[in-house]
Structure 1
Amino acid sequence: MDDRTRTEIEAAAFRALRAHLIEARPDVQNIDLMTLAGFCRNCLSRWMQEAAAERGIALSKEEAREMFYGMPYAEWTARYQREATPEQKAAFARALHESGGHGTGGEGDGAGGQPPR
């Protein structure tokens, strides 16, 4: 398989993952994704921002989030994000501790024990 085809396949898989998380399963909360998988939608938007920066393209945190979520982040949170329950916060803290704090980092992405926002 040539590099271009591989990149196209990887990009299609990413778009399918994004669509699944945004369109098919907006009910799944970021804190639960972080607890179970160590990443969430915010991480994916940050990885997009980092990929843009690697290519010399300036993309702010909010621009990257809007690009990923398909709407301003404030609108997404108002529509879909619920306040984390004490149980979710405890599970997140346990997962962070068990991983030795090796999450994806970043503000509100689990760094320092902060649930995703």
Structure 2
Amino acid sequence: MDQQTQTEIEAATFRRLLNHLDNHKEVQNIDLMILADFCRNCLAKWYMAEAKARGEEVDYDQARERVYGEPYDSWKDKYQKPATPEQLAAFDARQQAKASQ
């Protein structure tokens, strides 16, 4: 596979991931962090870092808007629920497990 085709496939895969996350707003960021050790905000940070590595300036709000499909505060108000005590406990356990590795 040539580099251009690989890049196009990777870009399409990223767009598909964003679309999948957009179609599953019920999946909270804390759930993603517990299960996969990344969330939508992580994707935004990675997007921002990759832009910077290529000489492009994308700030965190712009990157989050790309990932969330709308301004973060708007998305948060509509879809983000407060973390439950169980979610917070699972997240803390995950963080402690990572720290002890």
Category of TM-score, reference length = shorter chain: over 0.9
TM-score under structure 1 length normalisation: 0.83
Query: What are the residue-to-residue correspondences of 1:75-94 with 2, within 5 Å?
Result: 75-94=74-93
Count of residue pairs brought into register by the alignment: 101
Q: How far off is 1:83 after superposition?
A: 0.2
- 1:9 is matched with 9
Query: What are the residue-to-residue correspondences of 1:1-117 with 2, within 5 Å?
Result: 1-22=1-22, 24-100=23-99
Where 1:99 maps in the other structure, the secondary structure is helix
Deviating above 6 A after TM superposition, structure 1's stretches of 4 or more consecutive aligned residues are none
> How has the CA–CA distance of structure 1 residues 8 and 51 changed in structure 2, closer, same or farther, with 3 Å as cutoff?
same
Distance 1:9 1:43 in 2: 21
Of Structure 1 and Structure 2, which has the larger fraction of its residues in helix?
2
Alpha-carbon RMSD: 1.2
Distance 1:101 1:88 in 2: 20
Q: How far off is 1:101 after superposition?
A: 7.2
Distance 1:47 1:101 in 2: 25
Q: How far off is 1:67 after superposition?
A: 1.5
Q: How far off is 1:2 after superposition?
A: 0.3
TM-score under structure 2 length normalisation: 0.96
Where 1:71 maps in the other structure, the secondary structure is coil
What residue identity is the alignment partner of 1:97? Q
Distance 2:58 2:13 in 1: 22
Task: Give identity over the alignment, percent.
Answer: 50
> How has the CA–CA distance of structure 1 residues 94 and 16 changed in structure 2, closer, same or farther, with 3 Å as cutoff?
same
Where 2:99 maps in the other structure, the secondary structure is coil
What residue identity is the alignment partner of 2:74? E
